[in-house]
């Protein structure tokens, strides 16, 4: 009988089942169990990390949607205008805070920040712990303002914001997007950098998932909706940051080696 054989050599002389069940693992058995657990963990890791990335992307999408809704509430209270382009504690993260309330809404769950920065400048926390930029609507201001007023606008001195009603297609016009890690830009400006902020400052692939890892990122739209767009889809075939038709159709200047 196997029980007898198992108990032989234990030194107890007992042949009862109760004692034999407590026989210790041998080293070889233990190593086999550890190896099997290791293989199982290795098999499950990709599925787990993929599920974690997906959950993070959905959480981020909910946050940028809250920002989009806060923009609508703000414009309702300010005669239909979005926050004007101003600096420091007058920027949109501060102006919209009474509407989105929780500062966590400014942070993508896949982004990370140095905890030192808000300690250095506590009143700038909303600017420093922030993953999103607002549309600067450069194309609209450039066509609507005189040349000198447009320069004042670019210098954060123009007191008016764009009216929400100026957007002909709110369901297809981006108001918030995810900025690349480490960027301190506040607005998405067509007129900055070599290719414009939509190429150089927006992280279009923060949430990589799927087999090809091409990824995409989350955007809020002027109608209060939010959605995930695959890499490049925010600017091609139509530039969803633009208000005016000629800008929506203009080819985006890709810069090789752009950050
Ligand atoms: Zn995100």
pLDDT tens digits along 140-156: 999 999 999 999 999 99
Q: Which two tokens stand for residue 122?
A: 């506590």
Residue 239 clears pLDDT 90, i.e. is over it: yes
Residue 215 has pLDDT above 80, yes or no: yes
- Is 139 part of any domain? yes
Residue 106 sits at φ, ψ, to 5 deg, of -85, -5
* Residue 172 is assigned to a structural domain of this protein: yes
Query: Hey, what are 56's tokens?
Result: 């993070």
pTM of the entire structure?
Answer: 0.81
Ligand 1 centroid to Cα of residue 154, in Å, is 27
Range of the domain at 42: 28-249
pLDDT score, position 63: 98
The residue among 173, 172, 236 whose CA lies nearest residue 204 is: 236
Quick: pLDDT tens for 102-116. 999 999 999 988 877
Structural domain total, the chain: 1
Q: Is residue 2 part of a domain?
A: no
Q: Is residue 219 part of a domain?
A: yes
pLDDT exceeds 60 at position 100: yes
**Which residues, chain by chain, have CB under 5 Å from ion ligand 1?**
60, 108, 178, 206
Spacing, Cα 112 to ligand 1 middle (Å): 11
DSSP-derived pairing of the beta strands 216-221 and 174-178: antiparallel
Residue 21: inside a domain, yes or no?
no
CA 173 to centroid of ligand 1, rounded, Å: 18
Q: How far is the CA of 110 from the centre of ligand 1 (A)?
A: 6
Return the closest-CA partner of residue 14 out of 3, 28, 1, 2.
Answer: 3
């Amino acid at each position: 009988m196997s029980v007898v054989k198992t108990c032989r050599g234990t030194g107890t002389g007992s042949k009862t089942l109760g004692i034999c069940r407590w026989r210790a693992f041998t080293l070889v058995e233990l190593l086999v169990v550890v190896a099997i657990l290791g293989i199982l963990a290795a098999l499950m890791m990709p599925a787990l990390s993929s599920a974690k990335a997906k959950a993070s992307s959905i959480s981020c999408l909910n946050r940028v949607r809250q920002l989009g809704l806060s923009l609508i509430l703000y414009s309702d209270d300010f005669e239909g205008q979005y926050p004007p382009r101003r600096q420091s504690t007058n920027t949109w993260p501060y102006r919209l805070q009474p509407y989105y309330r929780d500062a966590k809404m400014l942070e993508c769950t896949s982004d990370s920040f140095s905890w030192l920065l808000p300690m250095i400048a506590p009143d700038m926390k909303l600017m420093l712990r922030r993953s999103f930029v607002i549309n600067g609507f450069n194309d609209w201001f450039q066509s609507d303002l005189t040349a000198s007023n447009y320069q004042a606008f670019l210098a954060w001195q123009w007191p008016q914001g764009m009216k929400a009603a100026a957007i002909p297609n709110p369901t297809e016009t981006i108001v918030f997007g995810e900025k690349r890690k480490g960027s301190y830009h506040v607005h998405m400006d067509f007129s900055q950098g070599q290719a414009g902020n939509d190429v150089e400052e927006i992280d279009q692939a923060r949430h990589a998932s799927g087999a090809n890892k091409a990824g995409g990122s989350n955007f809020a739209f002027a109608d209060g909706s939010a959605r995930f767009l695959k890499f490049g889809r925010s600017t091609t075939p139509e530039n969803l940051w633009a208000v005016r038709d000629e800008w929506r159709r203009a080819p985006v200047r890709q810069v090789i080696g752009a950050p």
